[in-house]
Structure 1
């Protein structure tokens, strides 16, 4: 709120300064006018000529021949139909597929939704299967260790007999 009030005060001060500058110009302008009226009239004539050079008559048909030269030729309105056609053409994208192909709409594999629904259960079963396989391997290794131990024991016995 304070910023707003401060900016308003600053704007008011700037306005006051501009008004003071304008008043000073008017006062000084009157003094110069009294002193040099001929120079002032010459400068006014030059500014009016410059203004006439910039004058362009668009909606007014002058009667004076000099002013008719400054008249701007009437603009022809653009065809609305052409503009609308261009906009419609730009707005309508070209059709990509004209016919609906059922092969593109149907899933590649008809059982994809069943696999999706069963995926969580299959993950649990996969973990259990891996554990079961690991246990079977351990069991066989234990059995082969026992068989290997028996074979080593039998080999020692055979060596002991041949000595």
Structure 2
């Protein structure tokens, strides 16, 4: 056990030295006598990045030590599926820019559109007169048919009286 602790301390010291060397290079620039092969330098930089990003996160373990309790990650709560589904559905249905498309505005106008517009008011008046005339003709025919109907009923009654 003591041999592993000693080797770990040696590794830590070596790492500290490499970090100091890297910091000095970054601050003062690289000197020609300090240059190392690219592969070795890249390996050392990767170790530096790994060491820097390695942080203890406790997700499933509840520590007793106060210092470690600060590193404990809070328990995640499951997200509401309904909210996510609603958001996705809303995102899938884009709102229409124009609610109602008027085909008259989209299609090019015919050359006589202004004449039709001007005549439309006059045609409305004529349409009303035409409807009135049709109604009068229907009334006259109904009156004529009432007279004929009354004559037909009288003839039927006379025919019934003779057969008695």
Pair in the same fold by TM > 0.5: no
Name the TM-score, length of structure 2 as normaliser. 0.34
Instruction: Tell me the TM-score normalized by structure 1.
Output: 0.34
* Higher relative helix content: 1
Whose relative contact order is higher, 1 or 2, with alpha carbons under 8 Å and at least 6 apart? Answer: 2
